[in-house]
Amino acid sequence: MCQVIDRKEKGKGTQNLQYSEEFTSFLVILGTISPRALDLFRQNLVGRSIQKLIINLFNFRQLRMNSNDMLTNPDLCFENVARFKRFLDKINYKGLIAAMSDNTKLKPSLRYSSQLGLPLPKFPPVIIALIPNNGRDSADIIANLHKKLLLEIASQLNISIISIGSDDAAAEFKAQSIIMNMQTINKIEIIDSTLNINFSCLILSNIGPVIRIQDPKHAKKTARNIIMSGARVLTFGKHIANFEHFLNLVNSPTSVLYKNDVIKLDRQDDRAAYRSFCYYNLAQCELVDSYLNREICPVERIRMCMTAYFFLRLWRYHIETMTRNYPNFMFIQQNFMAIQNFSIFNSLSESMVLLVKSHREYYPEFPLLPWMHGSEACEHVFGIARQIRTDFDFAELLQMISKISHYSKSIRTSNLLDEKEKSVREGII
């Protein structure tokens, strides 16, 4: 802006003015959110118009024809993944890939999206396919998509997909189970009958180990919602956990909880789930932290996961024993978490151990980055789309793909800040 003022004072125009990468990224984000806001900013301060921004930054005509950000075929097809593979070869990336899928509701009857995430720092997720459905996809249908990606496409292209992530949805979890139960010649197995441990994952030709991973942030929200729902009375020996405990905490003068974290809460708010666990060092909290903490060693991650694994199994055994002894007062369906949630938490423990073992035996040259696995990248894509347009159908989503990609790349600029106020609820954005 100082350069523009200096030029105006000298009676010069702003043609050929060089803008920094950070400032250009800021303009891209501003123009993506609101072209009108960008135009107002440019007229009163400085910056390129939206037309020049597109032409100078992205070479728009070439982008529509050749860019990796465009999907000419939204289906999960060989060419989409091959284009992704060519890009990996171009940047000489020989590392691991985290595949993930997510269901999101668009306008009626368009819900399913399957994507690949690339575990590179400050690298945006790469959209491989956007598949519409009628909102009733079964586990078999989703599993067939995973099989097509793994057996028909990734194996031919030698892409090392180490994980398949999901957001704990029942159909997606069952689809992952179908994949893990496929018959293969080789598997990674960790078996100890004394401790009731039977962990295993596939080893696919030209791919390597493939592990199912539930999204850890969703798991933390699930743990919080189990207590807050009121549908069950979770029993721990002579004590229970229920909504009243959180209600008492939020009224405490030293509480870190906001009232909206408990009363009329947003069940998808990540920060509210984090604050809820600040008071309790629960096993589920350590389980999630073993994925999200970036400063602990692999052995400590395994210790945290296995602590949660044994705690959950001992808790379940206790409730089953009490149910047999007091059948009129205790019920596994009312005093313990749902079987689906129990399976999700056990799966997270299993996945961490297999992830560490896979890295040690197959990929010792690559760092262990458990926070890159799950479905968060998918949800950020849809979160950005809803920032651009609050409601959209499938055709509109396809048209937004390049804009979403530009936004994602720009927001990862190191010197560009986009901090939210602490009172702002944070879910998939």
Structure tokens at 168: 């704990």
For each successive 10 residues of the chain (429 residues), what is the average pLDDT? Answer: 63 63 68 68 60 46 44 76 86 85 60 45 72 79 92 92 87 91 92 92 94 89 77 81 80 79 74 68 73 93 94 92 91 88 92 95 92 86 81 80 75 57 47
Nearest by Cα to 71 from 33, 32, 10, 115: 115
pTM of the model: 0.74
Nearest by Cα to 158 from 81, 211, 238: 81
Model pLDDT, residue 407: 74
Model pLDDT, residue 55: 44
For tokens 């949805």, the residue is 169
Model pLDDT, residue 54: 47
- Rounded Cα distance between 88 and 307, Å, is 38
Model pLDDT, residue 303: 94
- Any idea which fold 73-214+374-411 has? Nucleotidyltransferase; domain 5 (3.30.420)
Burial of 248 (0-12, 13-18, 19+ CB in 10 A): exposed
From-to residues of CATH 3.30.420 in the chain: 73-214+374-411
Q: At what angle do helices 298-325 and 339-361 cross, to 10 degrees?
A: 150
- Rounded Cα distance between 353 and 364, Å, is 15
Model pLDDT, residue 156: 92
Model pLDDT, residue 58: 44
Model pLDDT, residue 79: 84
Model pLDDT, residue 81: 86
